[in-house]
Structure 1
Amino acid sequence: MAGNRSKATQPILFFDTGIGGLSVLKEAQNLMPNAPIVYAADYAGMPYGMKSEEELSTRIPLLLGRLVERYNPQLVTIACNTASTIALDVVRSVLDIPVVGTVPAIKPASLVTKTGVIGLLGTRATIRQPYVDRLAAEFASDKTLIRFGAPDLVEAAETKLRGQTSNQKFIDDAVAGLLKQEHGDQIDTVVLACTHFPLVQEELQKSFVRAIQFIDGSRGIAQRINYLTSDTEWPKTAKNGTFVTTGAVTQLQPYHQTLTHFGLTEFDEL
């Protein structure tokens, strides 16, 4: 069956507080290398992990409504665990296009752990959400889940993608936050429940010293996007993608090399 050419020019919209969603975009581009991309970063609202649920459940749908109106995407991906666990249902209720969320990969972690002790690193807002409680109850009720809020890892990832050296203390503090808890010494699997965190996975592994399995949901999200757009006949060649920020475009200069690597060469302000 021929693909749908009418959708070929409609982009996939990725949304995050900053550049953490690049970990999801990377997996999506492996499956759909020529899909047009708009990547939106809410730098004016960063960090989400320190904001209240009420503030985010209002801010995120409003921003996504404006983005959808401007760029006419065929699908929205909320490439942010905090935003998804708080606002996904609201966003889906106000947009009339598919919305893919990002949730902590507790289920796959529960399938691979050997010790039955799983660490979960996220923002403070994410780890306290009832959504996480429900995932743990449904998929890891016979496991020990140790949570730690590590908002400084967001800055560590942002620093790294600016081409600078991340603050090692941020990395070490996050690891220590898991290990110092009861049964922390038995952790063999860690869920990276923030899309920024896979960007510093190598640094986290070094801080753990012993081998750890790191799990995040980026590949599964990409597969879901690919499935939902399977009737689209993408262009034969990739076109330049757009990076839009709620902050100032001038603040993106340190990220240009990284963004160009992902084909994001056009810049805009919301």
Structure 2
Amino acid sequence: MKADFDQAAPNYDSHFTFSEIGKMQRHLVYNQLQKQLKNTKKILEINCGTGEDAIWLAMQNFQVTATDISEKMIEVAQSKSNVENLTFKVLDINKISKESEKFDMIFSNFGGLNCLTKSELGLFFAAATNVFTDKGKISLVIMPKNTLWESLYFLLKFDFKNAFRRKKEVVFANVEGEKVATYYYNPKDVVLLAKVYFEIVAIKPIGFFIPPSYLEPFFTNKKILLKGLRFLEKGIKEWSFLSKYADHYIITLQKK
């Protein structure tokens, strides 16, 4: 796995983390993640980016090891915090089995695992079992294939080529000028790849009404509309069947 996000590191927070849509989607993730943290002490975060989630978890008094393949992302993350119970380090997801510590939970936010091919994702689940304590959990925020917002956005622009791009085997997303290979997985795809090692705990939508972050410029002067969409999102946060139609979904699995 390449460190394609080095280029994005300097502007990632301003473009997503601190955007209104980014904050709304992150709040949805935290709301669902908190339900899965009972009996958790040590957390391994993969694809930690600029460290926003790792810092939040550490502030909840968990022992957090936060990793990313991008050295530049880790540099930004380390500049944000010196919390004692938080460690940042560079780590390739595909080499997770080399991690010597044992954890109660693995967490990945906002599509980090969408950078893995189907075979790599299957190998990830196999390797993840080696870094768990008994009955460890894994909570992953993944981008599905059927996002309604994205299809509607491109259809309204008469961009039929991209309206259903997530259904392709691979899409090369533009990340600060870098072409990043991206693979989309519906919940059933993830469950199938993980079923030998994990059982389902929960699947919930993240961003069914709240739009994708690249629509932030459109909503800059439409804060009332965005608040209305957030209100609607709260009403369907437990509707698991909408997960494959949202911008992301969070799936929690437990080691068998």
Q: Which has the higher Rg, Structure 1 or Structure 2? A: 1
What TM-score, normalized to structure 2? Answer: 0.36
Higher relative contact order (CA 8 A, sep 6+): 1
TM-score using structure 1 length? 0.35
Higher strand share: 2
